[in-house]
Every structure is written in structure tokens, then in C-alpha cells.
Structure 1
Amino acid sequence: MCCGKCAKCLGTILIPLAVLCTIANILLFFPGGTIQDSANISDEVWYFGGILGSGLLMLFPALVFLGLNNNDCCGCCGNESCGKRFAMFSSIIFAAVGILGAAYNIVVASLGVHKGPKCLTYEENNTWSYPFNHGDYLDDKTLWELCKGPESIVTWNLTLFSLLMIMGCAQAVLCLFQVINGLFGAICGDHKCCEGNGAV
């Protein structure tokens, strides 16, 4: 098994996931697909879980994983495999960063789903508020009528935050797999990179 090729495959998957998480977070700034005042946007959207956690932070491990397969560090310290071992070990650190970023996104998205959207309600003089308490609207769709606007705001909010949670979980699993892959590569080494360059 070539640990570098496996890491490259993980990086290839993480990049589009990071882009999708960023897009999902950006769409949450437009409740129900409409342009609203910043005060009318749910607080959890401003935590940038998809943009920072599963977006920007995830790019670091993804790019590192992509570069591992092309990393030529043979002959380091008189040992042809130690450079590759160090590269694989360093990938574990970046994988941990990715796990933290994904975890942040998952927590923020979970809070967004649980709290529900900020929407226009008629109960308090047509003001924007959070009409749902403790995720009760998830089991009772009749409560969705408490949100008078924007149209389909509950579905919009629930769908996008749920997608962020799912993609965040996928990213966390992939980064966790790289931790295992990196440990394997750091302990066992990967002599194929040296053999490809004519080293003995």
C-alpha cells in the first residue's frame, strides 16, 4: 500500500467538500433565497462554520495530502525513508487541524438545526425572532407556520445546516483515516518514492 497515493486521494475528495461547505454557508446568508438585513440572519450563520471550519481550515490538510504523493525526501539524515516518514508524520498534524475544523462546523450546524431559523413572526408586531424552542419544530411540522417569512425559510435553513453537518462528518472521517494512514506511513515508511528515483 502506498500511503502517499492514499493521502492524495483523500485530499482530492476534501477539496470539493470544502468548496461545497463554503457555498452552503454563503447561501445561509440569503434566508429563503432572499436578501435580508444582516440583523435578520440567524446567529449561527455568522459563526462561519462552513466557511472557516470546513472551508478554509480544511484546505490546509487537503493541500498537504495532495502533495504527499509527490514529496521527494529520500536520503534524509542518511536514511532514504526518514524524509518520507517525517512527511507522513506531519500530515497527522494537518489531519488533526482538519478534524478540529470539521468538528467546529458540525457543532455550529447542529446548533443551527436545533435552534431553528430566525424569521418573520406576527406574534410580536411583525418582528424577526426565533419562534422555535429546543428543536421542537423537527417533530411537529405544523409549528413551521409560525414563520411567516421569508417563504420556505424553515426548509432552507434545515436543509443547508443539515448538509453542513453531513459534509462536516465526512471530512472528519476522511481526516481521521489520514491520521491512521499517516501513522502507518510514519512507522513503516514508503520506499516506493525512493525506488522511483533510482535509489537503492
Structure 2
Amino acid sequence: MTEQLVLLTATLITTIAGAFIGAFASSRFSYKHQAQAEQDKRRYALGERVLVPLLELRKMLRAVKHSRSKEGWAITANAAYDALDDARHLMPLSLSHLKRSVRSALGEAIGGVALSDQTPKLADSELEPYNYQWVTYADEYIEHAIDTIRRWRDAPPSTAESVTMLDFDKWLWATERYRPGGA
């Protein structure tokens, strides 16, 4: 009888401990899974918010040869800069240059209006004379940025941090589009 009581007590303790450990592990896994799902949602929403003005900038660049109006450039560029600022806390460190790089690409293509977030009086400045080469470079770089943001937005959590992209100047160099000094 004593042996049965010991066996019953041991079984009861093992069952209770197993249930407690199982509940704890399940709760912990559920919390981590829920937190990751929320971060994925935030990354997706921020990616979408960044894509909207970048897509508009690409559209404007593709029409800039025939539409030389300065209207809308500062507003759209500033919307892109603001969206990139808002997404920066979730983006991989390797994408932290995107605001500066988009500004540089636009500045080469359209001039001072691309800097209107830093110098508001430039919002009313005229566009630089059309330059096929620099408009094309800006268009291609923004297209590359759009593709990169989509890769980051859609990446599984395990690879989202590894999404990379060169800044504008390094991209120009690496793609042999432009090398200062002709080197």
C-alpha cells in the first residue's frame, strides 16, 4: 500500500510538473509568435507607407522630360523622406542611408527642390535643366530602392535584417554609371 501511495504521489507530481512546464512553454511560444507577427505587420505597413511616395517619385521622374512643372516635387519628395524617417527604426542598419540617397539621386536629376526638406525656400525653385543621364540614374536608383523596400517588407523575420542596398554614390560607382574623376 505504501509503495502504491509513493507511486501515485510520484505520478501526480510528474503530471503537475509536466502540465506546468507545458503551459509555460506554450505561453512563451505563443507570446513570441504574437510579438513577431505584430512586428511583421508593422514592417509591412511601414514598407507600404514608404513605397507610395517612392512610386510617385518614379512616375514623376519618368515624365520630367515633358513635364517641367516644379509643382508637386517638394511635397512628394518630403512625403518620401518622412516615410523613410518613420520606417528607419525597423529597417536594417544597411538601409539607414535611404533618405540621404534618395535625396542625392533626386538632387542630381531635378536640382535644389530635392533639398526642400532641409531648406524650405528651395521648394519653389525651378527644376534643373533636363539631363537624360542623371534623370535616368535617379529613376534606376529609385527603382532599385523600391525593389529593396519590397524585399525587406516581404522578407521572413529571419532574413529581413539581412536586406542590403548600396547608397547612391557607391551604387553609381559599383554599377560603373559614374566615377568621379573618370577613374
TM-score by length of 2: 0.35
Higher-helix-fraction structure? 2
TM-score by length of 1: 0.32
**Higher CA-based Rg:** 2
